[in-house]
Amino acid sequence: MNHYPQSTLWRALSQPIMGLAPMDGVTDSAFRHIVAIHGKPDVVFTEFTNVHDICSGRLKALDSLRYSEAERPVIAQIYGKEPALFYQAAHVVCELGFDGLDINMGCPSKNVASSGSGAGLIRTPNLALELIEMARKGIQDWTAGQPLTQIGMKPKALEAIGQLQSELYHSPIRKAIPLSVKTRIGFDRNMIEEWSACLIQGRPEVISIHGRTLSQMYRGQSDWEAIALAANRIQPHGILVLGNGDIHSLGESAARIRESGVNGVLIGRGSLGNPWVFQGIQQIREMLQTGQFCISPQHVPSLEEKFRIMIQHASLFERVHGPDRFVRMRKHLGWYCSGFPYAAAMRAQLVRTHSTTDVINLVNQYQDRALDNQTMETPATITTS
């Protein structure tokens, strides 16, 4: 098992690092697993989880902290604004066997930011530093042997965490995990210089920066000049910097890394319906090292391969998260539908499915029609076997 101690995980990864960015409502365990086995990113992050939910023991909320061994190294991302809960949540993340802990200081969601969490922390730098410190102390105390029963957690929470831990088949190893932060370049304006100076004081091992302000949400273009400026200020302090925003291929990753000087990138929306986006990482590293840029075309799956993996994804989601939550899988199905004849029509049908069986039936219907129209050379009925 690749479980890394403090100051080892991130330094052990080959650079530039290319990872899967955390995305709320997207990077659940099924999605991360599919990306891990078909794309093989260097590191993956969970979708963010509220520290209050972690510490209250809501089993449904803890669902976002499920992971498979194939995802390693896997980083748990948390958010909130209560220092005491960050201390407790850090214990839980360690107990569950994650390879790292990341604090979300970049979510632009109105509900999150307006409460003072996520990107709202950019406006309260002292609190942001306190959260980092309390999370670090939680990691240190857990590593020193402090059990969850001694940090003030309620029996209901301990029971839920114990149940999840048993489902993960994980026995905790008392080794420290690295602490990182993901953020934006500012709240309502670019203030990356002063915000970087603040975060440097917290001494996280990695700072990931999305090149937009909170007020921009996901509009406009990611400001990679601001990310480059931040990297120049942060890296001399021994902190790695990862850039994020508007990267849809490894070729774009290479260009951004070369231009900005970051230690790596996180790809988010570019992975939607595209778990193959990380294929070819080693080739990109070699080109960056030699300076010889000749970006080969990104892997384009055949339609049969795309359908096969889409069904594999749906089946895994249903098995991990339960059939009653299949509605959350629909958006993923829609993202797979692009770049082939009548994709829009198929998407409209897939986003109304209720099970993997429904998905298989629609794929087979599509292939039967394709065979009749002679638009596919070697159609085949797809099953879950």
Catalytic residues: 107
Report whether 268 belongs to an annotated binding site.
Answer: yes
Report whether 251 belongs to an annotated binding site.
Answer: no
Phi, psi of 146 (to 5 degrees): -70, 125
Report whether 269 belongs to an annotated binding site.
Answer: yes
Enter the tokens of residue 187.
């709240």
Q: Is the peptide bond prior to 323 cis by the omega test (within 30 degrees of 0)? A: no
Distance from chain centroid for Cα 356: 24
Report whether 264 belongs to an annotated binding site.
Answer: no
User: Taking Cα atoms as reference points, which of 42, 59, 23 lies closest to residue 163?
Assistant: 59
Q: What does the DSSP 8-state code read for residue 48?
A: P
Rounded CA gap, 235 and 239, in Å? 5
User: Taking Cα atoms as reference points, which of 210, 217, 211, 299 lies closest to residue 251?
Assistant: 299
* Angle, CA 51 vertex, CA 8 and CA 86 arms, to 5°: 55
Report whether 150 belongs to an annotated binding site.
Answer: no
Query: How many Cβ atoms sit within 10 Å of the Cβ of residue 34?
Result: 21
The answer to whether the beta carbons of residues 195 and 186 sit under 8 Å apart is yes
Query: How many Cβ atoms sit within 10 Å of the Cβ of residue 370?
Result: 17
Q: What are the distances in angstroms from CA 38 to CA 47, 296, 308, 312, 378? A: 19, 18, 12, 11, 23
The DSSP result for 63-94, as a single string, is: GGG---GGG-SEEEEEE-S-HHHHHHHHHHHH
The DSSP result for 7-24, as a single string, is: TTHHHHS-SSEEEEPP-T
- Which residue's entry shows tokens 């005491």? 84
Rounded CA gap, 276 and 270, in Å? 10
Binding residues: 77, 182, 210, 268-269
Binding residues for FMN: 77, 182, 210, 268-269
